[in-house]
Every structure is written in structure tokens, then in C-alpha cells.
């Protein structure tokens, strides 16, 4: 299958970014918005066409989906070890293309209305295009190093977009925090890449992931401290993915990243960038499964499960609607990681892999919808906090209905999309690790509870009187909401398992009725609790919170992780380790250099005395030179 036209998919947003960036002041805002949308629309059409071609026409060969690559060598180290740039087409990359294109297009259309009047309008669309280009490059990467390059680019775009309101100190601090935390995680990622490059001799995904290839077959060849070197590399790579996907304990940047504009939160921190970590583990899944017999997958599963539980507990206590949604994202990504962690490889055992990718797909739809809806509400009410909202169902009907659909989807109510994907995850967990299944079920209930706490808090609850009456958002903002709502309903019915699996052969998935019923029941219990607590205004919630005492206080302060990290970095690392090193650097290293400079100056000052301007000194030099030369040539230098 000819895949050369797929190069256009990342290159069009890159061109848009360059045009909008260079001609920033010369383009009128309205025009730049439509340029961005047009570029994205073109990429989206190409993505859908490619998906259609791949999944339905030419992708399958002998019943299994094959991968197509087209690449060029960028940097050559040895015969096998080289950094390539190119595109790799296989089921998960095509799926991610669709996710990124759809969400990005919706966010672009939404931003036409949301960012109207902002002085940095053109800049915003330029950055959005830059991000989309980076995400496409990440998704289409053929090579571990290429993923790393685009990984960093995505981090940079995120930094630029979080700090978009750069006049606010909190936004600047949040952008820095996001970049530094993910950079710290990427340090582990880089070391993992280098270890893999050194011990297997290649960075190419197809070679690494080949179950009969040298990388996987010889995984036990070198070991370090009891585990194979490749295991350590995979753990470090997972550390990079955990940082980008805001897993415990590298999650601290995600709530603060809500300082960016809401379309940014929808695009980056809900649907696309934060799932890059999950995508990375999925991309290297054969290595994760076979090396050390899936040891690292255990770590992945537990980290994912505990992150989701942690985030769900905190989400219940938050009062800023975007932060509730941020923790909800962390929780759902924890689900995806957990599902990857408990997955097998062949056929039906690979249901965890399939479920994780399916949940990624559906989650993108309804989480983006939730964020865009929240943005619509914030746009109308001019405040992020629950206490300033209530009873908005009368004023904003479209937002109300779409938000409700998304909330039902995330709670796992059939026949919406979330039910199907969440159910598959719970099936995978149940079959492999009962403990993790119990955590998963608990989190499902908590998810439903806090999501409907949010829904009722905004649209029902107390009847707030507003300073100026909130009205429904303009059509540029409500159209994406409606489209995403339709997707949230429809995508659940895609027979995902026939297209995206670990071993690239499809299988037919059946519904496990007892488990499905349990999940739906837990979800409904959560919704009912939220109804009781929040639909009408009462103080039941506060009494309940008081009953929990200090646990509630801890949860609402996000379990003091930020304070802990600040303590470790400031008091321990800066004072004890960095300060002495800085002192040594300043005193000795700088001192030596300055000393050399000073000595040169001193010697030069002494030497310049030779040019004293006194004739007699010159004469003296002359005479002594003559005498010395006479001695040398007459007596000492005998041929």
C-alpha cells in the first residue's frame, strides 16, 4: 500500500505553524483561525482516508494486519544502529491518527469562538498546529529515537500552551512545572533508549518488536543486579511514559496545567498528549510482554491501578471544575495502564491490550467533550469554581445535554461508548489479577460519583443569581460539542477487537454479562449517591466530609505531594547537595580560571615595562644583546 501521501498529515500542520508564526502580526485574527481549521481539516480527511484504506482495503495479509514503513536514515552510528525519520503504519498508529485528528479539529473549531478577542489569537492557532504536528510525528514514529524527538517537541508545545496567559504568574509557574517534571521523566526515557540501543544494536520498532527477532529472543543475555538489562531499560522507558501520562508519583504537573486555556486542556491534557505514555507502552508491547516474562508489565499495572484510585479519591474533594476533570483524566489513564499491564499477547488473552486502546479511543471523545463543555460554562460564568455555578440547565441547554451524555459515558452506562471499553478493561483485570479488579471496580464507582457531583453541581444544585445572565455559547463552540456527543454515543459500537490487537490478528469479543452487570450496577450506585448529595441544595455532603475528618483534608490537599516534592528539592537537594557543589564550582573552578586570567594580566603588566619610553633602557637592551650575541657567536657556537 502506497503510504507516501501520509507524509502530508504531519507536514500540513507544520506549514500552518510556520505561516502563522512568521506572519503573526500581519494576518488578521479571523483569517488565522480559519487557516488553522483548514489545515487541520485537510489532515483529518487524509487520516480518515488512510484509516479506511488500511482497515478495510489493503491492510490485511493472511488475516493479520501488517505494518508499512517508509523512512530515511537521519543519523548513522553503525549498520544497524541509526536514527531514522519516517512513518510507520500499523493498527495503533492509524487509530491514534484518527483520535488526534478528530479531537484537534474539534478543538480548533471550538477555539474560533472561545479565544475570540484574545490578543494572542494567531499565536494560539500557531501553537495548536505545532502541537498537532508533534503529536502526529510521535504517533507515526518508526524508531525509538524519533519518538523521543517528537516527545520533546510535544513537551515544548505543552509548555508554550500552558503558559499562554504569560502575564499570570501562576500560569508561568505551571508551565515550568509541567516542563520540568516531564523533562525529569524523559531523563529516564533517554537512558532507557540508550541502554536498548547499546545492548540490542537497533532502535527500529519493527526489529525490536519482532517476537522471533534477536532483541526479544536474547533478552536474558546481559543482566544487571538480578534483572536483565533490557528490563531496566523498559522500566526507565516506562518512567518516561509515566511522567508524560501523569502517573503516580510524577502526576503533580497535571492539575496545575489547567492554568492554560480550556481548549488546550481539552486537546493536550485530556485526549492526546497524556495518552502518549500509554501509546509508548503499547508500541513496545511485545518487548514488555516477552522480556523477563512480563515483569515490567506488573509494575505498569500496579502503578496504573494505584494512580487511578489516588486520583479518584482526590477528585471527589476538589472545587475547581477543571481540576476535577484533570484528576479524572489521571484516573482513566491509570485504567489504560492497568489494562495494558494485565494483558496477555495471543488472541483472546490480549484483551487487555485491546481494551486499553479501545478505552483510549473512547475516552478521548468524551473527555474532550467534558472539557469543552466545562470551557463553555467557564466562558459563560467567568469563573472556574463550583461555588459560583448552579442551575445552569435553564440557561445553557446544549451544553447541559452534551455534558450529561459525556458524564453518562464516563460513568459506564450502556449503550454509550464508555460502557463498552470500561467493561473490556474490567474483564481483562478479572481474568488476570483479582486484586486489581477490585480496585478497578471501586474506581468505577468513585468515577460515577464525582462525575455526577460535577454535573449536578454545575447544572442543578443551588439556584445561583448571576451578575450578568449566562447565555448559551456561540455556534462555533456548540457544534464541536454536538459532534463529540454523537461520537461518544456511536464509537462504542465499533468492533474494535477485530482491528486493534496485540498480535495483529483480530478476534471477536463477546460480552461477559455478569461482569458487565456488576460494572453498570456500581456505576448506577455512584450516580444515585451523587443525586442524593448534590441534585438539590443540602448540607449532606458537608456532614459526610466532616465525618471523614483528616482524611478529607488530606485528599483535598492532593495528599501533600507538592509539599513533599518541594521539601525534597529545596531542603535536601538544593541545600545539601547543590549548594556545596556550587560553592566548589565558584571557588575552585571559577577561581582557577580567574586566577589564570589575573596571572596573565599581572605578567603582562610586568612585561609592558619593557616598552618604557626611556631611550636609555632601549640602549641598554641593545648593548646587552650585542654582548650576548658576541659571546655566543664567537666563543660558544663552534661549527
Partner 1 sequence: MIPGISITEILTLTSILFFIGIYGFITRTNLISMLISVEIIMNSTVINFVIINKYLYPELLQGVVYSIFIIAVAAAETALAVAIIINLYKQISSVDVKETETLKY
Partner 2 sequence: MEKYIFYVLALIMIISAIASVSSRKMLRSVVYLLFVLIGIAGIYFMADYNFLAAIQLTVYAGGIIVLIIFSVLLVHHIDMELEVAKKSKRIITALTCLIGLGVFLTTIYSHPFVETTAAVTTTTADIGFALLSTKAGGFILPFEVISILLLAVMIGAIIIAKGEDGAEDQPKETPLVKQEKSVEKKEELLENEVTV
Q: Which residues bind partner 1 (CB under 8 A)?
A: 608-609, 611-616, 619-620, 623
Q: Smallest distance, Å, CB 634 to partner 1?
A: 14
Residue 28 or 614 having the CB closest to partner 1: 614
**Residue 381 to residue 374: CA distance in whole angstroms:** 10
Q: Smallest distance, Å, CB 24 to partner 1?
A: 54
Q: Smallest distance, Å, CB 623 to partner 1?
A: 6
**Residue 407 to residue 404: CA distance in whole angstroms:** 5
Contacts of 399 (CB under 8 A, 6+ apart): 373, 376, 377, 392, 472, 473, 478, 481
Residue 119 or 609 having the CB closest to partner 1: 609
Q: Which does 608 bind (CB under 5 to 8 A by kind): partner 1, partner 2, none?
A: partner 1
Q: Smallest distance, Å, CB 627 to partner 2?
A: 4
Q: Which does 615 bind (CB under 5 to 8 A by kind): partner 2, partner 1, none?
A: partner 1
At residue 37's C-alpha, the angle toward residues 35 and 41, to 5°, is 115
Residues 432 and 360 sit within 8 Å (Cβ to Cβ): no
Binding status of residue 618 toward partner 2 by CB under 8 A: no
Among 19, 145, 631, 636, binds partner 2 (CB under 8 A): 631
Q: Which helix (H) or strand (E) holds 523?
A: helix 513-534
Q: Smallest distance, Å, CB 631 to partner 2?
A: 6
Q: Which helix (H) or strand (E) holds 85?
A: strand 82-89
- Looking up cell 491518527, which residue turns up? 97
Among the listed ranges 41-49, 530-538, 586-594, 618-626, the one in contact with partner 2 (CB under 8 A) is 618-626
Q: Which does 630 bind (CB under 5 to 8 A by kind): partner 1, partner 2, none?
A: partner 2
For 489-493, the CB contacts below 8 A with 24+ separation are 489/405, 489/409, 489/415, 489/416, 489/417, 490/417, 491/361, 491/362, 491/365, 491/417, 492/362, 492/415, 492/416, 492/417, 492/418, 492/419, 492/420, 492/421, 493/415, 493/420
What DSSP string runs through 552-586?
Answer: HHHHHTGGGHHHHHHHIIIIIIIIIIIHHHHHHII
**Residue 189 to residue 276: CA distance in whole angstroms:** 13
What are the b/e assignments for 600-620, b being 16+ CB within 10 Å? eeeeeeeeeeeeeeeeeeeee
Among the listed ranges 294-302, 318-326, 338-346, 628-636, the one in contact with partner 2 (CB under 8 A) is 628-636
Beta bridge pairs of residue 87? 70
Beta strands in 296-389 (DSSP E): none
Q: Smallest distance, Å, CB 619 to partner 2?
A: 10
Q: Smallest distance, Å, CB 623 to partner 2?
A: 6
Binding status of residue 624 toward partner 2 by CB under 8 A: yes
Residue 495 or 625 having the CB closest to partner 2: 625
Q: Smallest distance, Å, CB 74 to partner 1?
A: 55
**Residue 586 to residue 604: CA distance in whole angstroms:** 25
Binding status of residue 620 toward partner 2 by CB under 8 A: yes
**Residue 103 to residue 98: CA distance in whole angstroms:** 8
Among 75, 564, 573, 630, binds partner 2 (CB under 8 A): 630
Backbone angles phi, psi at 74, to 5 degrees: -100, -50
Residue 73 or 629 having the CB closest to partner 1: 629
Q: Smallest distance, Å, CB 608 to partner 1?
A: 4
**Residue 102 to residue 360: CA distance in whole angstroms:** 13
Binding status of residue 634 toward partner 2 by CB under 8 A: yes
Binding status of residue 612 toward partner 2 by CB under 8 A: no
Q: With contacts defined by CB under 8 A, how many residues of the chain interact with partner 2?
A: 9
Q: Is 613 left (phi over 0), alpha (psi -120 to 50) or beta?
A: left
Q: Which does 612 bind (CB under 5 to 8 A by kind): partner 2, partner 1, none?
A: partner 1
Binding status of residue 603 toward partner 2 by CB under 8 A: no
Binding status of residue 622 toward partner 2 by CB under 8 A: no
Residue 471 or 614 having the CB closest to partner 2: 614
Binding status of residue 627 toward partner 2 by CB under 8 A: yes
Residues 164 and 264 sit within 8 Å (Cβ to Cβ): yes
Among 623, 637, 638, 639, binds partner 2 (CB under 8 A): 623
Q: Which does 631 bind (CB under 5 to 8 A by kind): partner 2, partner 1, none?
A: partner 2
Among the listed ranges 334-342, 418-426, 552-560, 625-633, the one in contact with partner 2 (CB under 8 A) is 625-633
Residues 129 and 20 sit within 8 Å (Cβ to Cβ): yes
Residue 582 or 630 having the CB closest to partner 2: 630
Q: Smallest distance, Å, CB 603 to partner 2?
A: 22
Residue 22 or 631 having the CB closest to partner 2: 631
Give the residues lining the site for partner 2 (CB under 8 A).
Answer: 620, 623-624, 626-627, 630-631, 634-635
Amino acid at each position: 500500500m502506497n503510504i507516501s501521501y501520509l507524509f502530508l498529515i504531519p507536514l500540513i500542520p507544520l506549514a500552518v505553524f510556520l505561516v502563522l508564526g512568521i506572519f503573526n502580526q500581519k494576518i488578521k485574527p479571523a483569517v488565522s483561525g480559519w487557516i488553522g481549521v483548514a489545515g487541520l481539516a485537510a489532515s483529518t480527511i487524509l487520516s480518515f482516508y488512510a484509516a479506511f484504506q488500511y482497515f478495510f482495503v489493503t491492510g490485511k495479509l493472511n488475516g493479520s494486519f501488517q505494518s508499512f514503513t517508509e523512512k530515511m536514515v537521519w543519523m548513522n552510528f553503525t549498520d544497524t544502529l541509526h536514527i531514522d525519520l519516517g512513518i510507520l503504519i500499523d493498527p495503533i498508529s492509524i487509530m491514534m491518527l484518527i483520535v488526534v485528528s478528530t479531537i484537534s479539529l474539534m478543538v480548533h473549531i471550538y477555539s474560533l469562538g472561545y479565544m475570540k478577542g484574545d490578543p494572542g489569537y494567531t499565536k494560539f492557532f500557531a501553537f495548536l498546529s505545532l502541537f498537532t504536528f508533534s503529536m502526529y510525528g510521535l504517533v507515526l514514529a518508526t524508531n525509538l529515537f524519533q519518538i523521543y524527538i517528537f516527545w520533546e517537541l510535544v513537551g515544548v508545545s505543552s509548555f508554550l500552551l500552558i503558559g499562554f496567559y504569560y502575564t499570570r504568574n501562576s500560569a508561568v509557574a505551571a508551565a515550568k512545572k509541567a516542563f520540568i517534571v516531564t523533562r525529569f521523566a524523559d531523563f529516564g526515557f533517554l537512558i532507557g533508549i540508550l541502554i536498548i540501543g547499546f545492548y540490542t544494536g537497533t532502535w527500529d520498532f519493527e526489529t525490536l518488536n519482532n517476537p522471533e527477532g534477536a532483541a526479544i529472543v536474547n533478552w536474558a543475555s546481559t543482566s544487571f543486579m538480578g534483572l536483565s538489562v533490557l528490563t531496566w531499560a523498559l522500566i526507565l522507558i516506562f518512567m518516561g511514559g509515566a511522567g508524560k501520562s501523569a502517573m503516580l508519583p510524577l502526576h503533580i504537573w497535571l492539575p496545575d496545567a489547567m492554568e492554560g486555556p480550556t481548549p488546550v486542556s481539552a486537546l493536550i491534557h485530556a485526549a492526546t498528549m497524556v495518552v502518549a505514555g500509554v501509546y509508548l507502552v503499547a508500541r513496545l508491547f511485545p518487548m514488555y510482554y516477552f522480556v523477563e516474562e512480563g515483569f515490567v508489565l506488573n509494575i505498569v499495572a500496579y502503578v496504573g491501578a494505584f494512580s487511578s484510585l489516588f486520583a479518584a479519591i482526590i477528585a471527589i474533594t476538589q472545587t475547581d471544575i477543571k481540576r476535577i476533570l484533570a484528576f479524572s483524566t489521571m484516573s482513566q489513564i491509570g485504567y489504560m495502564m492497568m489494562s495494558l499491564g494485565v494483558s496477555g499477547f495471543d488472541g483472546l488473552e490480549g484483551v487487555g491490550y485491546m481494551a486499553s486502546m479501545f478505552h483510549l479511543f473512547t475516552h478521548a471523545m468524551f473527555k474532550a467533550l467534558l472539557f469543552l463543555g466545562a470551557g463553555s460554562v467557564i466562558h459563560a460564568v467567568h469563573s472556574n469554581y463550583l461555588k459560583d455555578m448552579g442551575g445552569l440547565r435553564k440557561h445553557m441547554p446544549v451544553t447541559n445535554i452534551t455534558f450529561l451524555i459525556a458524564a453518562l459515558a464516563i460513568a459506564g452506562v450502556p449503550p454509550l461508548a464508555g460502557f463498552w471499553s470500561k467493561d473490556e478493561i474490567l474483564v481483562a483485570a478479572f481474568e488476570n489479577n483479582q486484586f486489581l479488579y477490585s480496585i478497578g471496580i471501586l474506581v468505577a464507582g468513585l468515577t460515577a460519583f464525582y462525575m455526577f457531583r460535577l454535573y449536578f453541581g454545575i447544572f442543578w444544585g443551588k439556584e445561583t443569581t448571576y451578575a450578568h445572565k449566562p447565555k448559551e455559547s456561540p455556534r462555533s463552540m456548540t457544534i464541536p460539542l454536538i459532534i463529540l456527543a454523537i461520537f461518544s454515543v456511536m464509537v462504542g459500537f465499533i468492533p474494535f477487537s477485530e482491528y486493534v490487537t496485540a498480535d495483529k490478528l483480530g478476534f471477536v469479543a463477546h460480552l461477559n454479562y455478569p461482569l458487565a452487570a456488576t460494572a453498570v450496577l456500581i456505576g448506577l450506585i455512584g450516580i444515585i449517591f451523587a443525586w442524593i448529595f448534590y441534585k438539590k441544595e443540602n448540607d449532606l455532603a458537608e456532614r459526610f466530609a466532616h465525618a471523614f475528618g483528616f482524611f478529607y483534608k488530606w485528599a483535598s490537599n492532593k495528599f501533600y505531594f507538592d509539599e513533599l516534592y518541594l521539601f525534597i528539592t529545596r531542603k535536601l537537594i538544593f541545600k545539601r547537595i547543590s549548594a556545596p557543589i556550587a560553592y566548589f564550582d565558584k571557588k575552585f573552578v571559577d577561581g582557577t580560571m580567574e586566577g589564570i586570567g589575573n596571572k596573565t594580566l599581572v605578567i603582562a603588566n610586568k612585561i609592558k615595562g619593557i616598552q618604557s619610553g626611556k631611550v636609555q633602557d632601549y640602549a641598554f637592551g641593545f648593548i646587552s644583546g650585542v654582548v650576548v650575541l658576541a659571546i655566543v657567536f664567537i666563543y660558544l657556537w663552534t661549527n
